[in-house]
Structures are given as C-alpha cells and as structure tokens.
C-alpha cells in the first residue's frame, strides 16, 4: 500500500514534511518512485532516528531532515553514493550520532546548525568534496587543526558557539570565501589568515576582539568585515611588556640589518634556519629586523575613509614606536592608511 500518495511536490521531489511522523517506513514507497526521487524532505516531524530504509532511494541527491528530534543517523546513509546535500538543522545530534563511514561520502553541502555538538566530528573532517559546512548554534569549544583537510571548502559557518581561538591551520583552505565566526569568545585573529586569498566575507561580530592583525590588509578580495559588538579598544597598549633581545637575537639582527653574507658552509644549519626567520620591522623609517623579541603596537587604520580600525603591529624595539594616538579620531600618520584602496572593503560593519 502506498501510504504517501500525494505527498510529493514534483517529479523528483518527495515531501513528507509536517506529517507529525515519529517513525517512517520508506519501503511503502513504490520502487519506481524511489528511483525517481532526488530530493527528500522530512522536516518538522518527530523522528528520533533517520530510518535505515533511506538507503532505498539510490538516486537521492538532497535530504532535509531539519526540525525533528533526531539523535542518531543510521549507517545506511553512507550507501547513498549520489548524495550531495544533507541538512539536519535543529535536532539533537552530537559527535556520537554520526556513522563511522560518514567521511567516505561525496557530500558537498552539510548543515548541522542548532544541534548539540561539542566537537566537530572527525568523520566530517574527511569529506574531501565538502564546499559548505554549517555548524552554528552548537556547543563547539574549539576548531580542530584538521579543518585544513577540507581543501574544497568555500563556506564555513561556526557562529553561535563557545569558540575562543582561531587555529592558524584555517588559513590552509585555498577556496574559502565566506567565514562566519560571530557570537563566540574569540579574543584574537591569527595573522596567518592573510593566506585566505579567496576570502570575500569575514564575520567576527559579538566576540572579544580588541585589535586586528595588520596582515588583514593583504586580504585583497575581502568585501565585508563585520566587527560590531567587539571591545576593539587599546587599553592594554601602555602596559605592554618588552623582553630585551637575547645575545643570539642581537647577533642575528646585526647580520641581517648589515646584509652580511652567510651560507650553510659558514654556520650550523640551526643558525641558518634561525636567520631565515627574521621579520622586517613595519615602521617605514626603520630598516631593522626582529626574531623573538618585539614590541606590540596598535595603529588605527582608515578603511574606506569612514572607519578606523585598530591593527596590531610588531616593532623591533620601544624606540621604534612611531607616533600614534590611542584616540580613534586622531589623524596619526600611518603607512598602512595610505596603502588601503577605498574600494578594498565595501562594507565594514561596526555599529
């Protein structure tokens, strides 16, 4: 008996939403209908477990099982070799709900927002074709370094969690265009994010940020930067400590600043490697370098002629600190201010 007659809304779409279902036996769907169905909607029911009979829909490309009481996903879902999109928002899923072989699937869009994840499941970090990952409104406390394995990722939504830090490995996602980390507990942005060459939108509002790294200026495709609801103050600037450079660093600075020639034939390999790590002082009036010992310094940079954002600089010594006011209304000179095209950021959301 075909109990789902009339529940479809198209030749390739089967819609079983809002039927108050607490269990589901998809064997009752005709074989022909199962073969034709490419999109399956099971939203707003009372399902606790994704039924094993889901695997009977061998040509399924899209599943939406949002707004149920789902706490477990059957292993049989991994048999859906053509599945590209899985949406399971607002359920009761956690990191123990995901099938062991889930990482072998060909999923491109995955949405687990509004669940109970405290960690990103390792299976999800193996989805090589994943382009969009949404795990907002969960209980995530960290972003694992293995996020860098999702090399096809274009959108990452992790807003509304308990995340306190951004791992530098996030910068190893070459196609990432949209990064949403709003409504977390993030206190700083790693300078390595300047390697996100495809990034167009960065949402960081409602965090604990007091400054941004100056490297953010090199995100040439960034069109939207959302920062509202962050402290973005410089109350700590005058209290910053400075550890004098070691004898090793002083020697290294002398070699680099005077352009003294050296090679692996002259020095041990560890010293050659150390010298290669020298960072140039960003002060345009200084030709110095630094290694481990540096002074943190805030500069307010003018974006689009409207907003002045506090960016972190690392200078080689306290004497190198160029004039800069902690007042965001000041007209302190800055090499960076003049280097930001007016169209670099089309939207900077601060208020």
Average pLDDT over all residues of the chain: 83
More confident residue, 241 or 33: 33
- In this prediction, residues 51-56 reach a mean pLDDT of 88
Does position 8 have pLDDT exceeding 50, yes or no? Answer: no
At 4, is the pLDDT very low, low, confident or very high (cuts 50, 70, 90)? very low
Does position 75 have pLDDT exceeding 70, yes or no? Answer: yes
What integer pLDDT is reported at residue 349 of this predicted model? 61
What integer pLDDT is reported at residue 215 of this predicted model? 86
- Give the rounded distance of the alpha carbon of 187 from its chain centre: 15
Helix (H, G, I), strand (E, B) or coil at 49: strand
Give the span between the Cα atoms of 157 and 169, in whole angstroms: 16
Contacts of 91 (CB under 8 A, 6+ apart): 65, 66, 67, 68, 69, 70, 71, 114, 115
What integer pLDDT is reported at residue 338 of this predicted model? 47
């Amino acid at each position: 008996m075909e109990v789902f007659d009339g529940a479809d809304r198209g030749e390739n779409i089967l819609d079983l939403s809002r039927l108050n279902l607490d269990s589901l036996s998809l064997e009752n769907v005709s074989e022909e209908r199962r073969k034709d169905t490419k999109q399956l909607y099971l939203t707003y029911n009372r399902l606790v477990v994704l039924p094993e009979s889901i695997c009977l829909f061998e040509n399924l490309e899209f599943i939406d099982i949002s707004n149920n009481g789902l706490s477990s996903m059957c292993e049989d879902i991994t048999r859906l070799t053509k599945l590209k999109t899985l949406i399971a928002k607002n359920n009761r899923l956690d990191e123990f709900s995901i099938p062991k072989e889930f990482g072998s699937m060909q999923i491109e869009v995955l949405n687990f927002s509004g669940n109970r994840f405290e960690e990103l499941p390792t299976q999800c970090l193996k989805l090589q074709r994943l382009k969009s990952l949404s795990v907002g409104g969960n209980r995530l406390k960290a972003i694992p370094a293995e996020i860098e394995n999702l090399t096809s990722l274009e959108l990452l939504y992790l807003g509304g969690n308990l995340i306190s830090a951004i791992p530098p490995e996030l910068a190893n996602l070459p196609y990432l265009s949209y990064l949403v980390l709003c409504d977390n507990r993030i206190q700083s942005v790693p300078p390595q994010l300047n390697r996100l060459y495809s990034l167009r939108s960065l949402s960081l509002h409602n965090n604990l940020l007091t400054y941004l790294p100056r490297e953010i200026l090199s995100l040439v495709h960034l069109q939207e930067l959302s920062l509202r609801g962050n402290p973005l103050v410089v109350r700590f600037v005058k209290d910053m400590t400075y550890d004098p450079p070691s004898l090793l660093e002083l020697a290294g600075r002398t070699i680099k600043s005077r352009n003294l020639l050296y090679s692996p034939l002259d020095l041990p390999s560890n010293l050659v490697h150390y010298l290669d790590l020298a960072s140039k002082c960003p002060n345009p009036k200084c030709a110095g370098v630094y290694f481990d010992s540096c002074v943190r310094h805030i500069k307010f940079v003018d974006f689009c002629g409207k907003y002045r954002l506090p960016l972190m600089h690392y200078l080689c010594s306290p004497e190198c600190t160029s004039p800069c006011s902690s007042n965001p209304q000041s007209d302190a000179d800055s090499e960076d201010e003049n280097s930001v095209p007016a169209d670099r950021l089309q939207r900077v959301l601060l208020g």
